[in-house]
């Protein structure tokens, strides 16, 4: 272990640009952190590096005595068990990973894996993180026509999933951490007798996905507090009575600027327009054409790396549902099929990059992204939205208010 070096004040370098520095971050002084790494040459350098520099304060607080004990799940008092996620959930580290971040958002430490009671029916990845039935199923290549009994189970599961998402939506406000949102999702799912499908799916460490600002999808709930002006997508999937129900919505945190409001509203409209064409005989590829047309006419782009999917007894299966135009999706819709449509719409370019955690997909240009999702059933005459909003759903979208 290296010892501390005695660095005189006039030898300090700016943490942002490397120039000689004689200003110090006041928060670092309050936390009694070493001068190295907390010095800046000017107020401009300090301001420009604030979004990344403030993570130093979080790490200092998380490692300080009296901040909790290992294994604690109360996000208000995280302890040493709060670590950064790596390798798709299979590894942890106390230090923030190095990465060429595309926007202002940074990962924060995550809490320990939440407990699922023994009496809850679990999917086959719950214990070891590895799905066994799903990847080898014939329904990865053939679109299943669900039986009436299976459809009835999916209606029930999707309603629970909707109620879980609504519970999470009710606590979205500045100052709430995404880990707190995850706890609400987890506890509400368990209380309903379900299992949160994302938990340990291919080692995903949490019970839902929370994607903030430039995160496109699969954001991992962590210790970061939501800030006024953020947008956050909450993606919930519930496993109950042997089937899955999947949906997500993007919410405003506090006062959101007009550009963000336009992006989120357009994304909502993309999903609604796509659902409107669902009926027997329609080609799956047409969904992407409808979404792409509305998004591009509104000045936005459509993510191509992630798509909707079949769902039922399997979390992910055929058909694939691309959301972009000129896609090559095969097949036509038939009564009894169930699948998700979940367009991801970007304010800038459509391309994405992956964070070091192996899950969090972010926009390549750091601009915001929004998403909405429903699980759908093709009926004889059209479509049934299995995860549709309820009369009790929180009234959070301005364009739906009467």
How is residue 369 written in tokens? Answer: 């992204």
- Taking Cα atoms as reference points, which of 233, 250, 221 lies closest to residue 111? 221
Per the annotation, does 316 bind a ligand? yes
Per-residue model confidence (pLDDT) at position 48: 74
Q: Tell me whether residue 342 is annotated as binding.
A: yes
279 DSSP 8-state letter:
S
Q: Angle CA(172)–CA(61)–CA(17) in degrees, nearest 5?
A: 95
**What is the per-residue pLDDT across 321-347, written as a single tens digit (0 to 9) for each?**
999 999 999 999 999 999 999 999 999
60 with 31: CB under 8 angstroms?
yes
Is residue 219 within 8 Å of residue 211, measured between CB atoms? yes
DSSP code of residue 212: E
Q: What span, in angstroms and rounded, lies between the C-alpha atoms of 302 and 323?
A: 7
CATH fold group of domain 134-385 = Creatine Amidinohydrolase (3.90.230)
Question: Would the annotation count 309 as a binding residue?
Answer: yes
pLDDT for the residue numbered 18: 67
Who contacts 5 (Cβ-Cβ below 8 Å, separation ≥6)?
Answer: none
Rounded to 5 degrees, what are φ and ψ at 44? -65, -45
Which residue in this structure is represented by tokens 């309603």? 159
218 is in an annotated binding site: yes
Sign of the dihedral defined by the CA atoms of residues 352, 353, 355, 356, in that order: positive
253 touches 173 (CB < 8 A): yes
Model confidence pTM above 0.85: no
**CA atoms of 78 and 280, how far apart (whole Å):** 51
- What is the β-pairing status of strands 338-341 and 374-378? antiparallel
373 labelled binding-site residue: yes
The domain limits of the chain are 12-52, 134-385
Residues composing the chain:
402
CA distances from 8 to 11, 13, 21, 41 (A): 5, 11, 11, 15
Rg (CA), the chain: 22
Per-residue pLDDT of 256-302, as tens digits, reads 999 999 999 999 999 999 999 999 999 999 999 999 999 999 999 99
Rounded distance, CA 157 to CA 386, Å?
9
Cβ atoms of 273 and 343 within 8 Å: the answer is no
Task: Provide the pLDDT for residue 71.
Answer: 33
Q: What pLDDT is recorded for position 68?
A: 36
Place of tokens 């299943």: 144
pLDDT of the chain, 402 residues: tens digit per residue: 122 223 333 456 777 776 777 777 877 776 767 766 777 778 777 777 776 677 667 666 554 443 333 333 343 444 568 999 999 999 999 999 999 999 999 999 999 999 999 999 999 999 999 999 999 999 999 999 999 999 999 999 999 999 999 999 999 999 999 999 999 999 999 999 999 999 999 999 999 999 999 999 999 999 999 999 999 999 999 999 999 999 999 999 999 999 999 999 999 999 999 999 999 999 999 999 999 999 999 999 999 999 999 999 999 999 999 999 999 999 999 999 999 999 999 999 999 999 999 999 999 999 999 999 999 999 999 999 999 999 999 999 999 986
- CA torsion through residues 252, 255, 260, 262, sign: positive
DSSP string, 365-386: T---EEE-BEEEEE-SSSEEET
């Amino acid at each position: 272990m290296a010892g501390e070096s005695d660095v005189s004040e006039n030898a300090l370098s700016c943490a942002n640009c490397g120039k000689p520095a004689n200003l110090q971050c006041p928060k670092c002084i309050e936390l009694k952190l070493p001068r190295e790494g907390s010095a800046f040459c000017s107020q401009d350098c300090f301001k420009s590096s604030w979004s990344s520099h403030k993570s130093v304060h979080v790490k200092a607080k998380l490692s300080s005595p009296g901040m909790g004990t290992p294994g604690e799940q109360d996000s208000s008092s995280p302890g040493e068990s709060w670590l950064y996620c790596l390798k798709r959930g299979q590894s942890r580290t106390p230090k923030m990973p190095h990465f060429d971040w595309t926007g202002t958002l940074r990962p924060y430490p995550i809490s320990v894996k939440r407990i699922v009671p023994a009496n809850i029916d679990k999917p086959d990845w719950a214990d070891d993180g590895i799905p066994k039935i799903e990847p080898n199923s014939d329904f990865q290549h053939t679109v299943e026509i669900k039986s009436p009994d299976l459809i009835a189970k999916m209606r029930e599961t999707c309603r629970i999933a909707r109620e879980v998402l609504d519970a999470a939506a009710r606590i979205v406000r500045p100052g709430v951490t995404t880990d707190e949102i995850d706890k609400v999702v987890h506890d509400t799912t368990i209380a309903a007798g379900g299992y949160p499908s994302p938990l340990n799916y291919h080692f995903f460490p949490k019970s839902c996905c929370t994607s903030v600002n430039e995160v496109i999808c699969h954001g991992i709930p962590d210790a970061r507090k939501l800030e006024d002006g953020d947008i956050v997508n909450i993606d919930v999937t519930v496993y109950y009575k042997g089937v899955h129900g999947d949906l997500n919505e993007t919410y405003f945190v506090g006062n959101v600027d007009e550009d963000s409001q336009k992006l989120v509203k357009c994304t909502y409209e993309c999903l609604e327009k796509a659902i409107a064409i669902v009926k027997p005989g329609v080609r799956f590829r047409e969904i992407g054409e409808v979404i792409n047309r509305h998004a591009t006419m509104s000045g936005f782009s459509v993510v191509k790396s992630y798509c909707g999917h079949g769902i039922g007894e399997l979390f992910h299966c055929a058909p694939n549902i691309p959301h972009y135009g000129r896609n090559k999706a095969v097949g036509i819709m038939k009564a009894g099929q169930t699948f998700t449509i979940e367009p991801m719409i970007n304010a800038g370019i459509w391309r994405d990059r992956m964070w070091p955690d192996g899950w969090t997909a972010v926009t390549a240009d750091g601009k915001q992204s929004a998403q909405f999702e429903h699980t759908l059933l093709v009926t004889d005459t059209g479509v049934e939205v299995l995860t549709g909003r309820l009369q009790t759903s929180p009234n959070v979208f301005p364009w739906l208010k009467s």
